[in-house]
Chain A
């Protein structure tokens, strides 16, 4: 649709701008201020310049948790996006069952993050949880509280359980937007299922997948509550992701300065990756 050029449209955007700016810009500025100083209390603070940034960038523990974070987000996207699309393809297109499916799929999305942690904390335990019990009776030594790999796997499974539905719902919505004529044309051409998916469905899914990929990337990159509830970041540091390290630093040790520097670096990384996703996925539209 061609849009009219009209700078008066700013007046319609102004409330959003004011509301978000209030909660976004002032705290961001404050974090930048913090990151340059050594703060003891409200009145005792010293300017230290870039010292915290140097410290954070060379901290091997934080580098580890950054790496873990990237692997985790990568896994989340690699599992959830295809699985979500698959589920959306399997859903009935219309009628009562379609509504039932939508309702059931949205159920996990409405569970508060800490309750998700609680559910899996219980579900995964060998003594009181079905999942842990089942794995152990199958002869798999599974204990998320002691074994790093198990803890990691549990957090990943938990995330898949919680958020795949989001991708599925978005993809379902995208699939429904394809007019029947496309499918009829495809069946006349005797197109294979794969061809239909590749050349009709996937292109139509692109805009909803953009939302899905971005949301999942951002949220998985900031995952905090679930591993915190499950094991508190352990065993060892196996499920200590970036948010966890940051919160430990800011609230646990009250090192506001380094935490501020860390936050800025963290934010810049998310900004860069999201911008790359965003540009890569929106830019082809213009051609």
Chain B
């Protein structure tokens, strides 16, 4: 494991990447089992399931940045907002 030292892993970042990996894996399985169709929700463009995931992850990143940078409230609030947002976009986006 010595050559991994320089990557300077920490538990939170490792968990973050494992989480992202799991989401991608789950999305792939879901796609294999039932391929998604493009549809139009409240977002201004028609999207597939993968597009919606990307949109919600990208906006989640900016939600976190906004909360960290410009408010003093806990990052966990940002996290829960992002999760809720993820579900809203996936379901109705």
Contacts and interface: CB of A to CB of B under 8 A. Distances in A.
Task: Check A-B contact in the complex, CB < 8 A.
Answer: yes
Interface of A: 26, 29-30, 32-34, 36-37, 39, 42, 45, 47, 49-50, 53-54, 57-58, 265, 268, 271-272, 275, 279, 283, 286
A279 B13 contact: no
A interface SS class? helix
Contact of B13 (A33, A271, A272): A33
The 4 A-B residue pairs with the shortest CB-CB distance in the complex, in nearest-first order: A57-B69, A33-B8, A30-B7, A53-B68
A175 B36 CA distance: 37
A29 B4 CA distance: 12
Interface string B25-48: 000000000000000000001100
Interface of B: 5-10, 12-13, 16-17, 45-46, 54, 58, 61-62, 65, 68-70, 75
7 contacts: A26-B7, A29-B7, A30-B6, A30-B8, A50-B75, A57-B65, A58-B69
A68 to B, nearest CB: 19
A226 to B, nearest CB: 29
A254 to B, nearest CB: 14
Contacts of B7: 26, 29-30, 33
Nearest to B9: A33
B47 to A, nearest CB: 10
B8 A34 contact: yes
B10 A54 contact: no
A275 to B, nearest CB: 7
Nearest to A279: B45
A39 B6 CA distance: 11
Contacts of B68: 50, 53-54, 57
Chain A CB within 10 Å, residue with most, of B10, B17, B54, B70: B10
Contacts of A57: 65, 68-70
A32 B18 CA distance: 13
Given A32-B13, A268-B61, A272-B58, A42 B6 contact: yes
Contacts of B9: 33
A36 B10 contact: yes
A50 B68 CA distance: 7
A264 to B, nearest CB: 9
Nearest to A46: B10
A156 to B, nearest CB: 29
A283 B45 contact: yes
A49 B16 CA distance: 13
A278 to B, nearest CB: 11
B62 A37 contact: no
A26 to B, nearest CB: 7
A283 to B, nearest CB: 5
Contacts of B5: 42
A47 B10 contact: yes
B11 to A, nearest CB: 8
Contacts of A275: 54, 58
A29 B9 CA distance: 9
